[in-house]
A and B are shown apart, each in its own frame.
Chain A
Amino acid sequence: MSEPTYIHFDPQALLQDLTGSQTALVAVLRSFAGWRKAIEAELVAATEARDPARLGRATHTVRGTLSQLHADRLVGMATEIEKRCRHHDAGAVVVTRADIAPLISGLKAVTAEVTHYLATH
């Protein structure tokens, strides 16, 4: 049976990054769901607080961590939001819940694929 295709992250590239350690890969992916919950809560809280600095930090975290999972589309999204937060005018509301919605649904999609990978490997 051929390996299923994952479109939201790339487990093979991650495995290669981790110098081929399947044990390390599984340990990292097992932590992903908890990490996603925490970062999603922070993204929402920072957006609702209308705090661009805080939201910029949260999206920077998403950018760094998802680049490790080779979730390139989401890395691009997070980078865009981070840039908008960095170059905001003082007091201006630069990012809304609607702006972060695609990022949050993308994080959920990665989580679903990670869960599938763990269940089948």
Chain B
Amino acid sequence: MTTKAESPSEFISTAKAARQLGLSLGAVQQMVESGALAAWKTAGGHRRIRQDSVDALLARSQDTVAHPRPQTETLRVMVVEDDTLLQQVYRETFKSWSLPLEVSLFEHGLDALLEVGRRAPELMIADLRMPGLDGFEMIRRLRENPHARQVAIVVVTALSNDEIAEAGGLPHDVTVYQKPVPFHELHGYMQALIAQRRRERDLPA
């Protein structure tokens, strides 16, 4: 976060940035802390966020077109996990399988959302506690996006069911697993999705 004072007209409050981005105050504060939004603090400790960094984020999220799903065997899987070792766990395990997968990994919820808008996966596997836009808010935003309603969402988290409920819960169509990552279940889930795609593809128009 910069501490340099600049023209006040270039900056907006956290509340205004949250309204413009359609996010919660907490999410915007975390995005400032993680550097996703440029900001400085007033002497009284209030954040002032650069309007152009909010505009840039909005432009990225609006510059998104829903692409038709490819008619291939490959299942597009997006993993959203901020921990580097667990990213490695996902990458190495998926690589060892013989399933037709196209896997992309994202550290932040916002980056994942932007990618979903650009090219939606068939399956998203997401952590919940992440810096910046966390998994709860990312999933809420994803379910609000009409282009992404078909994305199957599996949450893999260290949080217990009580902790998830305490944090506001998740939509009923989200499958939740506790860590360690349940790869046997994920394998079966992916096989089922691939089989479903084959059936849909083979059905007469």
Contact = CB atoms under 8 A, between A and B. Distances in A.
Interface of A: 14, 17-19, 21, 23-24, 27-28, 31-32, 35, 38, 57, 60-61, 63-65, 67-68, 70
A14 B89 CA distance: 10
A64 B92 contact: no
Given A18-B183, A28-B85, A60-B158, 15 more contacts: A17-B183, A17-B184, A19-B93, A19-B96, A19-B183, A21-B92, A21-B93, A24-B92, A28-B92, A31-B88, A57-B131, A60-B129, A64-B86, A65-B86, A70-B180
Contacts of A61: 82-83
Interface of B: 82-86, 88-89, 92-93, 95-97, 127, 129, 131, 157-158, 178-184, 187
Contact of B158 (A18, A27, A38, A63): A63
- Report the 3 A-B pairs with minimum CB-CB distance, sorted nearest first: A24-B92, A21-B96, A64-B158
A31 B83 CA distance: 12
B180 A68 contact: yes
Main secondary structure of the interface of A (DSSP, over half): helix
A43 B83 CA distance: 14
Contact of A23 (B92, B181, B182): B92
Contacts of A35: 83-85
Contacts of A17: 180-184
Nearest to B186: A19
A56 B180 CA distance: 19
Nearest to A61: B83
B180 A24 contact: no
B21 to A, nearest CB: 21
B88 A68 contact: no
Contacts of B82: 61
A63 B129 CA distance: 11
